[in-house]
Amino acid sequence: EATLDLAERRRIRSAIRELQRQELERDEEALASKRFRTERSSHRQEDKENWPRSRHLEEEQKAALAALSQQLEAITDVEELTKLLRAAGEYEERKLIRAAIRKLRAEEIEAATLAENMRSSQ
């Protein structure tokens, strides 16, 4: 407020904003390092002990998702897929089902477009 030059005021305000942004970044980094430091060290031993079990669960989940993917390939009804989507509990399952729904809808649109093109060419 002491200077009357508007350009200088803009430079001062932008410098103040930059300093505030840098201070916020430093604070966030400090918080993140404090927040995760104790969590990492306390779970290391636990992770080592549970690793074979978690590995086994991960393999089971991959097998279940592969089976679901094959099952979804056979379904050609969007309503049936929607029912499966509502019943699904896991994120990965819902993700696969939504992809199957998008694929079916794209095929329906493509078929309708081809039919329209055939009609218009005749």
Please give the model's pTM, rounded to 2 decimal places. 0.50
Query: How many angstroms separate the CA atoms of 67 and 73, rounded?
Result: 10
* Helices 91-121 + 6-74 axis angle, to 10: 80
Q: Would you say residue 15 has pLDDT above 60?
A: yes
- Dihedral (Cα; 69, 72, 78, 84), 10-degree rounding: -80
Query: How many angstroms separate the CA atoms of 71 and 77, rounded?
Result: 12
Segment 10-34 shows an average pLDDT of: 87
Amino acid at 84: L
Q: What percent of the chain has pLDDT over 90?
A: 12
Amino acid at 92: E
- The tens digit of pLDDT for each residue in 41-98 reads 555 555 566 667 777 778 888 888 888 888 888 888 889 988 988 988 888 888 888 9
pLDDT at 17: 93
Domain spans of the chain, in order of start: 6-41, 54-120
